[in-house]
Amino acid sequence: MKKIIALLLALTLLFASACGSGTQGGQTPSDPPAGQEPDASPVDQDAPPEPEPEPEAEPEPEPVVLEAYSIYDPTVMPEGGERDGVKYEAYDGIVEHLFFHPIIAYPELAFDGDAQEKGLDDYMVTVDEFNKILQSVYDHGYVLVDITNVWSEITGDDGQPKMVRNTLYLPEGKKPVIFSYDDTNYYPYMLENGFTYKLIIGDDGKITSWGLDPQGNEVISRDLDAIPALDKFVEEHPDFSPFGAKASLSLTGYCGILGYRTQTEKEDQSPEHEANRQAEREAVKPIIAELKRTGWTFGSHTWGHVNLAKKSLDVIKEDTVKWLDEVGSLVGETPILYYPHGARPDGGDWKQTGPIFQYLQSQGFRVFCSVGIESFSFIKKDICAVICDRLHPDGTTLRKSRKRYLQFYDAKDIMDPVRPDYGVDWD
Ligand SMILES: [Zn+2]
C-alpha cells in the first residue's frame, strides 16, 4: 500500500501542473517550419534586375501513396481457421496489458540532475530500453491486440446491458498483450527534458516525430518516439500485430493532444488564442486519421489529469464535458478511461460502484483502467463496465520488480546504463 501511495504522490508531482502559457517556465514549441522555406535572400534594390532564369518545368510533386494497412477483428476466427498460412486458435486466458509513458529520446536532458530527474527515472523508459522491451515481448510470443476488442457490451437475459469477455482467435501458440501509452500530449515540461515535441506526417506519409536535439537542431525521426517506433517495429515484425493493432493512446486535454495546442485556456480567451486553437485542431486531424488507419486507438485520461479519488463529482463532470468537447470531438467516441495517477473513484471501484463511477459510465466509458501489479480485470455485476489494472514498464519496476516482469523481459538485459545510479533490487 505504501508503495502505491508513493507512486500516486510522485505521479501527482509529475503531471499535476497546469499547462497554461508559460506557467511551466519553458517555451511552448514553435511550429516546425513547413518543409519549403521561402527563399529569404535579400534583393538589392539598386542592382539591375537579374534576367529571369528560364523557368524550369516544376516537377509535379509525387503524390504519396500510402501502403494499404489491414485491420482484422480478433474476435472472429479466420475462414478455415487460417490466415496467410498461419493457424488460429481460440484463446480465453489472461490478456496482459503493458502501459508506457512517452519515452526519453535524449537521456542527457532527462537525467541532468534537475527537479524532474527522479520522476522521469521512475516513470519513463529510454528509447533504447523501449526497443529492447519490444523485442523481448515479441520474442516471448506475445501479439498485440487492441483493448477495444477484448470486451464487448451485450444485452443480458434480464434485458440489461452488460460487458462480456470476448474469445480471441490468435495465431497458434501466441499470447495477447494490450499496449497503452499515457499522456501522449507532449506537455511543455517534457519538451525541455529530452522528449520529442509532436507528431507530424513525414514525407513518406508516415507518422513521424518532430523535435529538437540537445543542441537545438530540428530532428524529424521515427526512432525517438514510442509511436513511430512501434509502427516501425510492426513493419519489421508484422507477426507481432496479426490484427494490425498498435497501442491505445491515453489523452488528457489541458495541453492539447499529440503536440498540438488544441486546448481552451481559462486565462486566455482572446480571439488570437481561439484562432490558433482552431488552426491546431485542423493541423492534428490528419495525424489522428493516419493513426487510426494504422491501428492506433484512443482513450480518455480526463481533460485535466484529474485525480478521480480526490475531486468532487461536480469538478469531474465539468472536466468530462471539456474532454468530450475538446478531445473526444477530435478522436471520436471511446469506451476507455485511464485513471490519472491510477486513482480509483469513490474510494474504490472493485467492491462498490459509487456516484463518480456511475457518472463516468453514463458518459460512455465501459473499460476503466488503473495501474497494478498484474493484468487484473473484473467485469462488474451491478453496472455495464469492466475494471482492469495495467503493468508499467518503467524505472520503478525495472529497478524493483524484475521477477514480476520476467514473462516479458529481464530488467537486467533492459536497463539503460545512462540512468542515474539510484540502485536496483534484483533478486
Ligand atoms: Zn497520466
Q: How many domains does the chain have?
A: 1
Residue 232 has pLDDT above 50, yes or no: yes
- In a domain, residue 8? The reply is no
Centre of ligand 1 to C-alpha 29, Å, is 21
Position 39 scores a pLDDT of: 39
Centre of ligand 1 to C-alpha 185, Å, is 10
Residue 248 has pLDDT above 50, yes or no: yes
- In a domain, residue 320? The reply is yes
- Domain region containing 170: 87-414
Question: pLDDT tens-digit profile of 49-65?
Answer: 555 556 566 677 677 88
Centre of ligand 1 to C-alpha 353, Å, is 23
Centre of ligand 1 to C-alpha 189, Å, is 14
What is the arithmetic mean of pLDDT over 191-203? Answer: 96
> How far is the C-alpha of 57 from the C-alpha of 62, rounded, in Å?
14
- In a domain, residue 56? The reply is no
Position 18 scores a pLDDT of: 61
- In a domain, residue 147? The reply is yes
> How far is the C-alpha of 166 from the C-alpha of 86, rounded, in Å?
21
- In a domain, residue 46? The reply is no
> How far is the C-alpha of 346 from the C-alpha of 352, rounded, in Å?
8
What share of the chain in percent tops pLDDT 90?
84
Q: What is the pTM of this model?
A: 0.87
Centre of ligand 1 to C-alpha 304, Å, is 10
Question: Residues with Cβ < 8 Å from 129, sequence gap 6 or more?
Answer: 103, 393, 398, 414, 415, 416
Centre of ligand 1 to C-alpha 342, Å, is 8
Residue 241 has pLDDT above 80, yes or no: yes
Position 52 scores a pLDDT of: 58
Centre of ligand 1 to C-alpha 187, Å, is 11
Position 282 scores a pLDDT of: 98
Centre of ligand 1 to C-alpha 338, Å, is 8
Work out the mean pLDDT of the chain and round it to a whole number.
Answer: 90
Centre of ligand 1 to C-alpha 54, Å, is 57
Centre of ligand 1 to C-alpha 306, Å, is 9
Phi then psi dihedrals of residue 255, to 5 deg: -120, 20
Specify the range with the lowest mean pLDDT, choosing from 11-15, 126-130, 233-237. Answer: 11-15
Question: pLDDT tens-digit profile of 264-307?
Answer: 999 999 999 999 999 999 999 999 999 999 999 999 999 999 99
- In a domain, residue 23? The reply is no
- In a domain, residue 20? The reply is no
Centre of ligand 1 to C-alpha 98, Å, is 14
pLDDT category of residue 191 using cuts at 50, 70 and 90: very high
Question: pLDDT tens-digit profile of 302-351?
Answer: 999 999 999 999 999 999 999 999 999 999 999 999 999 999 999 999 99
Position 54 scores a pLDDT of: 61
- In a domain, residue 31? The reply is no
Centre of ligand 1 to C-alpha 305, Å, is 6
Contacts by 282-287, CB closer than 8 A, 24 or more apart: 284/256, 284/257, 284/258, 284/260, 284/330, 285/330, 286/201, 287/199, 287/200, 287/201, 287/207, 287/258, 287/260
Parallel, antiparallel, or unpaired for β 377-379 and 86-91?
A: unpaired
Specify the range with the lowest mean pLDDT, choosing from 15-19, 260-264, 301-305. Answer: 15-19
What is the arithmetic mean of pLDDT over 355-382? Answer: 97
Specify the range with the lowest mean pLDDT, choosing from 89-93, 248-252, 308-312, 373-377. Answer: 373-377
What share of the chain in percent tops pLDDT 70?
86
> How far is the C-alpha of 76 from the C-alpha of 86, rounded, in Å?
15
What is the arithmetic mean of pLDDT over 220-235? Answer: 98
Position 240 scores a pLDDT of: 98
Q: What is the CATH number of the domain that holds 92?
A: 3.20.20.370
What is the arithmetic mean of pLDDT over 365-385? Answer: 96
Residue 6 has pLDDT above 70, yes or no: no
Q: Tell how far CA 72 is from the center of its chain.
A: 21
Residue 42 has pLDDT above 60, yes or no: no
Residue 121 has pLDDT above 80, yes or no: yes
pLDDT category of residue 43 using cuts at 50, 70 and 90: very low
**Cell of residue 398, nine digits:** 525495472
What is the arithmetic mean of pLDDT over 17-31? Answer: 43
> How far is the C-alpha of 244 from the C-alpha of 405, rounded, in Å?
25
Position 254 scores a pLDDT of: 98
Position 180 scores a pLDDT of: 98
pLDDT category of residue 193 using cuts at 50, 70 and 90: very high
Specify the range with the lowest mean pLDDT, choosing from 23-37, 91-105, 316-330, 371-385. Answer: 23-37
Centre of ligand 1 to C-alpha 222, Å, is 23
Centre of ligand 1 to C-alpha 285, Å, is 23
Centre of ligand 1 to C-alpha 184, Å, is 9
The total number of residues written for the chain in this structure? 427
Centre of ligand 1 to C-alpha 301, Å, is 7
Centre of ligand 1 to C-alpha 83, Å, is 38
**Cell of residue 273, nine digits:** 488564442
